[in-house]
Structure 1
Amino acid sequence: MIESGLKELVQYGNELAVPNLVERVGVTYSDKKLYAVDEVRRANALEMSTLTSLVEYIKSKTDVSTDKMIVQVVSPEEVRLISALDDDRKREVLAEVNAQIPGFDYGRYIGHESFIIALQSKFIQNDDCELLLKFAGTVENGTVAQYGDDGVTQKATIKTGIASKGEAVVPNPVKLRPFRTFIEVEQPESAFVFRMRQDERNGIECAIFEADGGAWKNTAMKSIKEYLQYELSEYPNFTVIS
């Protein structure tokens, strides 16, 4: 314990000492680590949630910027406005745009009713989405164990009337368009694997698993870049990258 305290005391004393600088063959060496003092003041980044806000901010010319600016599409959910390198070879982030996207638990089984509501509120309606709604919305509790699943299609008993019953078939994968990027651009369509199961405690549960290897992200980022390039076409000092 005493040795540890002495070691820390010696180390603290060394940190307070003036560094010794030695020059050898045109190179200056120091026996202590030196830190540059950053005298350039940088603003905190503005936080935004839409691409429209970013475009309006740029066009307003409210803040002074460098001769060249970079608009970086970081991900389908994030865009940053960045200055060019300053004299210290550093950049300033003037704005950060983060999309407000409804959450959905991909790859996790959720309750039957919650799944149906999510399909209606968090996805753009297309043919496959309507097919899933028909399938998931009419399957009877207690019949999921009877459905057939060959890895490509699923079949289950559904209600077709007050007394009659029929069968519905859902192909896999299904093509869906969830809200996953900024509302100003088209939501990319991608493949999902749909699964349903009967849980002893929770009843019917549904899940969709992403099946495109994340290719939708490239599509979304390309759309964001094209949107910003069009909106900023009259501002050649702003370069959009992704």
Structure 2
Amino acid sequence: MEGIKEAIAFITDLAVKAEKPETIEINGRTYCTKSLKRYDEADKAEPIRATTLTSLVDYIKESREELRDRMIIQVVSATKVLLYSGLLPERDRETLFEVNALLPRFEYGREYDQESFLVSMQACFAPSDEREDVAKVASNIVSTQEATFSDDGISQQVVMKTGVTKKENAIIPNPVRLIPYRTFLEVEQPESEFVFRITEGRGGVPFFKLVAADGGRWEAVAVDNVKSYLVEALADIPNREQITIIA
């Protein structure tokens, strides 16, 4: 029994030593075996989260007492903007506000059935002549099935043809220039080129898809549009020079 107690005490001592942080000198630099956190520093505030650029502008204008001497607005992407404090004494920054755009979702390259595609065209793309052209073509595509039957009294023969056809003559546009909702709704949405494809599914059912064809250039335009909006919206606030806007 005494031996078991000693073994348990030995193992416990090892566990305590393993938990205790130690410093190691390597090539003149000091390293710690544990990740340490200062308990004497005030906890940073959780960022306020919103979905519109207007909410960020309102926060900056109405909550000046919460801002620091230096602030940075970073347009991270076409759908995300962050408001940071300047460097704190610990050479760290505090995120005060985070904006993530709330947008309708359309999957480029995915095949949609006719109804889903037509609904998405209305919900996910800004009005334009080419949007109406694409919707017109998609709404006039039908699934056809033609059968020919013959009987000579000895044998019977049935020939069936299925496929996708247009109700009326119409040129399928390609590429098409459309304006998807892909960035904050307060700014102008970038126009892009897309390849419009119609395919035939099981039973001749038509499917539709749009494939992005601009190499992602739209996002650079969108980011610049967001930055321009913020620069203009904050132009008249007191001490404007305290806030740096980067993209």
| Residues 129 and 17 (structure 1), Cα distance of their counterparts in 2 relative to 1, 3 Å cut | closer
| Residues 29 and 133 (structure 1), Cα distance of their counterparts in 2 relative to 1, 3 Å cut | closer
- Mapped pair 1:236 → 2:245: no
Whole-angstrom distance in 2 between the partners of 1:20 and 1:168: 76
Whole-angstrom distance in 1 between the partners of 2:15 and 2:171: 73
Whole-angstrom distance in 2 between the partners of 1:201 and 1:70: 57
Q: State whether residues 47 and 96 of structure 1, in contact with CA within 8 Å, keep that contact through their aligned partners in structure 2.
A: yes
What root-mean-square deviation, in Å, do the aligned CA atoms of Structure 1 and Structure 2 show?
A: 2.8
Could you tell me which residue of structure 1 aligns to residue 148 of structure 2?
none
Larger Rg: 2
Q: State whether residues 110 and 209 of structure 2, in contact with CA within 8 Å, keep that contact through their aligned partners in structure 1.
A: yes
Partner AA of 2:219 in structure 1: K
Residues 156-235 of structure 1 mapped to structure 2, 5 A cutoff: 157-159=165-167, 166-201=168-203, 203-234=205-236, 235=240
Could you tell me which residue of structure 2 aligns to residue 41 of structure 1?
43
Q: State whether residues 163 and 204 of structure 2, in contact with CA within 8 Å, keep that contact through their aligned partners in structure 1.
A: no
Residues 35-74 of structure 1 mapped to structure 2, 5 A cutoff: 35-37=36-38, 39-74=41-76
Q: Measure how far apart 1:37 and its partner are.
A: 1.1
Q: Measure how far apart 1:102 and its partner are.
A: 0.4
Moved over 3 A (4+): 7-11, 16-22, 27-34
Q: Measure how far apart 1:191 and its partner are.
A: 0.7
Whole-angstrom distance in 2 between the partners of 1:211 and 1:60: 42
Partner SS for 1:168: coil
Whole-angstrom distance in 2 between the partners of 1:216 and 1:20: 50
Whole-angstrom distance in 1 between the partners of 2:70 and 2:31: 37
| Residues 18 and 128 (structure 1), Cα distance of their counterparts in 2 relative to 1, 3 Å cut | closer
Partner SS for 2:144: coil
Q: Measure how far apart 1:35 and its partner are.
A: 2.1
Q: State whether residues 190 and 212 of structure 1, in contact with CA within 8 Å, keep that contact through their aligned partners in structure 2.
A: yes
Q: State whether residues 232 and 238 of structure 1, in contact with CA within 8 Å, keep that contact through their aligned partners in structure 2.
A: no
Could you tell me which residue of structure 2 aligns to residue 13 of structure 1?
16
Partner AA of 1:81 in structure 2: L
Q: State whether residues 143 and 204 of structure 2, in contact with CA within 8 Å, keep that contact through their aligned partners in structure 1.
A: no
State the TM-score, normalized to the length of structure 1.
0.81
Whole-angstrom distance in 1 between the partners of 2:72 and 2:116: 41
Could you tell me which residue of structure 2 aligns to residue 138 of structure 1?
140
Partner SS for 2:45: coil
Partner SS for 2:133: helix
Partner AA of 2:166 in structure 1: I
Q: Measure how far apart 1:181 and its partner are.
A: 0.7
Residues 118-157 of structure 1 mapped to structure 2, 5 A cutoff: 118-142=120-144, 157=165
Q: Measure how far apart 1:125 and its partner are.
A: 1.5
| Residues 121 and 34 (structure 1), Cα distance of their counterparts in 2 relative to 1, 3 Å cut | closer
Identity %: 37
State the TM-score, normalized to the length of structure 2.
0.79
Whole-angstrom distance in 2 between the partners of 1:200 and 1:187: 36
Partner AA of 1:113 in structure 2: E
Partner SS for 2:87: coil
Partner SS for 1:167: coil
